[in-house]
Every structure is written in C-alpha cells, then in structure tokens.
Amino acid sequence: MIAKITRGKTIRRLLGYLYDTVRSQDHTDPHLVASWDGFAPDPGRDTNPQAAMRQLTQSLELRLNQARHNDDRNIPDRPVWQCSIRAAPEDPNLTDDQWAAIARRIVHATGIAPNGDPDGCRWVAVRHAPDHIHIAATTLRGDLRTARHWNDYLRADRELEAVEHDYHLRTVIRGDRTAAKRPTRAETEKAHRAGRPRTPREQLRTIARTVVAVSTSPEEYLHLLADSGVRIEVLRYPSGDVRGYKAALDGDTNAAGEPVWFSGSTLAPDLSYPQIRDRLTTTEPPALVGPGIRRTDPWHQATAAIERIPHHLDGTDDAASQAHIAAFAEALDALPLTAPVNLRPQLRQAALAFERASRSRIQADHQHARALRTAIRAIARQPTTSDSTGLAMFLDAAILAVIAIQRWHSTRHHNQQVTAAHQAPAHLQAAYDHAAATPLTTLTHRTPAQPIADRHAHRIRQAIPTHADQILADPAWPPPSPTPKPPATTPLGSSNWPPTNAPSPTRAHPPTS
C-alpha cells in the first residue's frame, strides 16, 4: 500500500472532488467508510445528497469557524489535510469495514486523531474506487489547537507497512526519501492533452542529468543547460554569488501564459545547485594534448575506471563507494550523446532505469571518482563516429559494475535502489550485443598462427577445465591442428595474439535474472 498526503485551504472543494462522478469518470459509487465519530452524514448514500454535503461540510468546518469567531490567529494557512491510500493491483478487494479500520489506524499514527483523544481532528474516509480511499480532515483539534502531525508521511508509511503484514497484502518496496519527485496528476494529464509521452518535469530531469554529466564546472552547467532548449533563471545572494537556479521547458506555460518553473532540487535531489557545485568542483577538466605528448584513449580510461568499481565497492569507505556509483550514473547519462544513433534508445533506457540507483542517504565523497568523470567528459568532447569498439569495451565492463552496485545496495537494504539496478543490465546487454557485433566479426577474420592457437587452447584447459570444451567449440575459435605438439611454456605476456592494435570488445554477458 502507498500513501500520498496533500494539504489544501477549503474542505468544500475537496469533498466536491471526492464525490464527483461527472468530471472524474473513474469515480464509482463514492461513499463514506469511516468518520471521526461514526455518525457523519454521507452524501453518497443520503436521499438528499446536496443537503448531506452541506451538513458534512459544516461539520468538518465547525472548529475552523469557531477559531475564526474567536479571532484566533493560529489557524493554519492550509487547514485541510488529505491522505489517499491505494492498494496494489494484485491485492484482493478490501471490504468497507477493512478500509475503515485502515483509515482509523492512519489518523491515529499520523496524529490527526489519536485513539482515545476526544479532541482529535474531525475527519472522514471516502471510497470512490475499489482499490483506494481518501481521508479528508481539518487540522484544528477540539481545543482549537493545531494537530501535531509532523512527519505524517513517514508515520503513515510505517503504519501501512504493518497493514500489509496484517492483511497479507503485497509488500511495497520502500525508499529512503532520495527518490526524484514523481509528476503530479495535473502534470500527467496536461502532458497527455498536449500529446507528450513524458511530462516537462521528467524531460527537464533527463536534460539536466545529461548536461551535468558532460560539464566541467557549475558555470558551464548553467550555460549548457540554457543551450539545450531550456529556459533558466539563476538565483543569487545579495553578494552576487549563485544560490540556485530554476528551469522551464520551452513551450510549457500555465494558464496565464507564464513559464512553469522547476527548481533543480524538485527535479531530483542531486540536481540542486549545491549538489552540482560539489560534484563539478572536484572534477578535473580533460587534459590538453600538445605536440609530442602521447594521447591516451579516453574510452580505455573510462573502461579501466569502470572495471575497478567492483573492487572499490568491496572496501569499507561508503562515501567513496557512493561517489563511484554517482559517477557511473553520470557515465550512463552521457553515453547517448557519444554512441551511434541506433544504440541510443537502449542506452537512454539503461540510464533512466539506473537513475534511482545512483542516490542513497550516504553522502558521496566525489573526489574519489575523478578518473571516471574526467574520462567521460573527454569522450563527450570527441566527435561521434560509427566505430563502436570503445563503447563495446565500456558496456562489457558496465554490466559487471551494475551487478556489483546492485549487491552493494542490497547489503545496505536500499530496496528501491536494488530494484532500479536490477533493471539496467538488460538494456546494457542489448546495447552491447549491437555495439560488439562488428568488432567481434572483425576479430573472427584475424586467425592467429596455429601454434599460438594451440597454446591458448592448452592454457584454457588448464585454467577453466569445466568451460574449456564450450569455449573451444565456439565457431569463432580456430580449429585445432591435426597433431598438436605440446605447447611450450612461455609467459602469458609473450604471446603476440591478439595483436596490440586489434579492437577488443572482451566478452558478452548473459542477462541477469
């Protein structure tokens, strides 16, 4: 079960929505299942719905009107509290009595109406669909004090976890409050009317994550974001220093024709300006290559950094581990910019799937991930080509890194992050299969000399005898010589195969289950 808590100004408007079946056609048979005293009028069952609605509204507003009559200035600006509770699609349909019991547990747990408190807030629970209810309350108590309902969402979520156990319902994977904010219902409906597959909030989040992945400084981030079809407004302190920013998608306006702004922190916790500044000020800009200086392939640098991630995660420094995970997520965000066009959809899906796994309550010490960030930014500054050899090497290492990251989150009970990391390898594997196809085909035509092939076969049988037959039976493996001679014992490094200049996409991985 999941809960969503909102606040408003008027109870009349909320009740009108809960009982409406005209504009909200998904509302069926709205009726009360519980109330503060068990005797509240029910517009859904009364023979005179309008009169019952007026009576119910007046009853819920009673204490607000009493406080206003006493000229009480402690009335909250938004005195209406609403909590929707939704069951999972696979859960059985609960009865009205069961929903009523759940509603009473929630108002008790959140402090709206504690059990045995005669001055608890007035509230009702309305059911207008089989799978969820809405609890509507006014937050003034009988003694005209405001209810103490701080941290109500966490309390409700904790109580719903117990409800799932008591009613044998599906256990929801709960997070650590580091997830990006989901689009509101209004945003989703607006995007649907405009024919957009994603809401502006989601589009801005993707753009911002891609831009920060290729930026080398906070100033460059803001500049590149403005050049990406996004309207930005920089917020400053009186001293002139930047304190934040807000962004709006071009063409996304409200009813007054004004841009719909989102601050960085409302897009995702790690997209706030302070978080971006902390990351980018620890990133070294790509080194300039001058005459006579040997240039290192950034794909090789990035792949080497990715291959070391499982080793880093086995350490005891969680802040450093979190930094490597965040840098890995940035690498996935940047890949669609540098990959061949036919690989970009799968890479975007991998980045979107992994995004939730990139954050946790552990604060990252970003200086530990400089090598990967520097390599990725160097790759982003290279012209895009059709050669996918470097990308194939990177993806091969990335699949193993994701598996290690999933295990790291699992040992720390980061359940939402584990689920997100579990979804990414399938997309990475699909991209790898396409990226490695051409390099692997090229390698099959570079057959080594027969003595070298025999020596490799001998070493494979010594190192991994249980898999040797499967490897040596692969069509890409050179056939053995008719009468192979015992291979000479030579150091592994003395072989001239594969050629040092040959592309090496390494190995493929089966999709994880």
Q: Report yes or no: 183 and 202 within 8 Å, Cβ to Cβ.
A: yes
CA distance 476 to 467: 16
Chain region(s) in the chain for CATH 3.30.930: 2-166
Give the number of other Cβ atoms within 10 Å of residue 133's Cβ: 26
Q: Cα 324 from chain centroid?
A: 17
Question: What single DSSP character describes residue 63?
Answer: H
Q: Which of 298, 300, 418 is nearest to 357 (CA)?
A: 418
- Average pLDDT per block of 10 residues along the chain, 513 residues long: 93 94 83 95 94 96 91 85 95 96 97 95 95 96 92 93 95 85 90 93 96 95 94 95 95 93 96 95 61 72 96 96 97 94 94 96 94 93 83 96 97 94 96 92 80 90 92 83 58 48 51 48
Domain 2-166 in CATH 3.30.930? The answer is: yes
Query: pLDDT for 267-321, tens place per residue?
Result: 999 999 999 999 998 766 555 555 555 567 899 999 999 999 999 999 999 999 9
The pTM assigned to this predicted structure is 0.75
Q: Report yes or no: 362 and 325 within 8 Å, Cβ to Cβ.
A: no
CA angle in degrees (0–180, nearest 5) for 75-76-77: 115
Cβ neighbours of residue 248 under 8 Å, at least 6 residues apart?
200, 204, 230, 231, 232, 259, 260, 261, 262
Query: pLDDT for 118-159, tens place per residue?
Result: 999 999 999 999 999 999 999 999 999 999 999 999 999 999
